[in-house]
Amino acid sequence: MRFVSMCLIILATALVLLFKVQNLTTVTIVLLGMSLTLPVSLLIFGVYVLGMLTGGTAWALLRRSIKGVSHDKS
C-alpha cells in the first residue's frame, strides 16, 4: 500500500510540475484600479487556495448554524 501511495504522490507532483511548465504565459488582473501581472499557473493556484479557504469557512459556519438550530430545539 505504501508503494501505491508513493506512486500516486509522484504522479500528482509530476502533473503539477508539467502544468506549471506548460502555463508560463502571463496574465494581468485588474481589481479596483490595481493591476497585477503573473503567470497563469500561479493565478490558478491562488484561486484554488482562496477557494479552499472560503469553502472551508463557509462549511464551518454552516455546520455551526445547523448545530445551533438543533440545540435550540432540544
The reported pLDDT for the residue numbered 74 is 56
Residues 11/33, Cβ–Cβ less than 8 Å: no
| pLDDT tens figures, 12-65 | 989 988 888 888 889 999 999 999 999 988 888 888 899 999 988 888 888 888
CA distance 49 to 68: 29
> What pLDDT, in 10s, does the model give residues 64-74?
888 777 766 65
Phi, psi of 59 (to 5 degrees): -65, -40
Residue 19's nearest CA partner among 43, 54, 52 is 43
